[in-house]
Amino acid sequence: MNGQHGQDGRGRQDRADAVDREMAARLLPGAVVRALGRWWETNAAAYADGTPGAHTVRYTPGRWGQITSWPKALAPTSAGGDAAASRAEVASAVTDALRREAFREALVATYVWGKGKRGTPGGSGPSTLHKILAFDGLEAALAAAVTALHECGAPQAYAALQGQVPGLGPAFFTKFLYFTGIAMPPARGPRPLILDRVLSRRLRQLAAVVGRESGHDVDGSIAAWVWSDGNWSPHRYRVYLSFMHAAADQLAADDSWPSGAAPDLLECALFTTAWETSG
């Protein structure tokens, strides 16, 4: 029984690897390139420097009153109404915090930005972050991830954080890694990018088409398995980074996309761009 299960598991992984290789060879299909070109037409003025630094998220500071280690770059929790923070502002806050080894503060900045207006008093955002900050091993886990990123690379930093902090899953700790990578670029390999449920579903959509056309995944079950809604493996994160950086290079050669644009501009665009898988 165990041998059969192991054999089945290896077969499934072999099919997943085959789909990954096909995706790496094909990269973005024409329909997606055209959809991204339309996105750029709409957003070119905002991201004229080829980065998503101007990408701004609105949040309500008063809803985070229970959170300590609050970054000065964010509006004070005593402030009324809403506030806004751009990626560039969060990157600056994280850079300042990491310079002081204030790892909790860096995490708070990225978490609040990531949650945005979804953070409600006592809700999943503030209450979950409060529990994360209370975890005794948080400081050591964040420090280990920063060291791994700087010395080894993004997949190793991902592995250093996965499952280490209760309540802190990859959809949010990749935001921490992303902004840390801007502050302290890794010594080798690609810079980290955000991977959350929305982006995973975009890759699942691409993988399903490739799997069907190549015959490696006719029913889409492999795509659904590897590009699930969460808890991605470090290997999957490595595949994601490799694909995204290669796809960014692909787009750079297209007239409808800014030349030399950073891979995180593609990540930002994919988060808000939909396309048809047929036709």
Local confidence band at 275 (pLDDT 50, 70, 90 cut-offs): confident
Q: Are residues 105 and 173 in the same domain?
A: yes
Terminal CA-CA length for the chain? 44
Does 100 reside within a domain?
yes
Asked if the model's pLDDT at residue 123 lies above 60, the reply is: no
140-193 residue pLDDT tens: 999 999 999 999 999 999 999 999 999 999 999 999 999 999 999 998 999 999
Count up the domains in the chain and report the number. 2
- Which residues span the domain enclosing 158? 56-183
Confidence of residue 206 (pLDDT cuts 50, 70, 90): very high
Q: From 183, 211, 232, give the residue that closes a domain.
A: 183
At 2 the pLDDT is 39
Residues 211 and 142 grouped into a single domain: no
Report if residue 191 sits inside a domain. Answer: no
DSSP 62: G
Same-domain status, 67 and 90: yes
- Render pLDDT for 28-74 as a digit per residue (tens, 0 to 9): 999 999 999 999 999 999 999 999 999 999 999 999 999 999 999 99
Q: pTM here?
A: 0.93
Asked if residue 203 is part of any domain, the answer here is yes
**Those residues with Cβ within 8 angstroms of residue 252's Cβ, 6 or more apart along the chain or in another chain:** 258, 259, 260, 261
Q: Look at residue 49 and tell me if it is in a domain.
A: no
Same domain, 85 and 175: yes
What mean pLDDT, rounded, does the chain reach? 93
Distances in whole angstroms, Cα of residue 220 to Cα of each of 18, 19, 43, 223, 271: 13, 11, 33, 5, 21
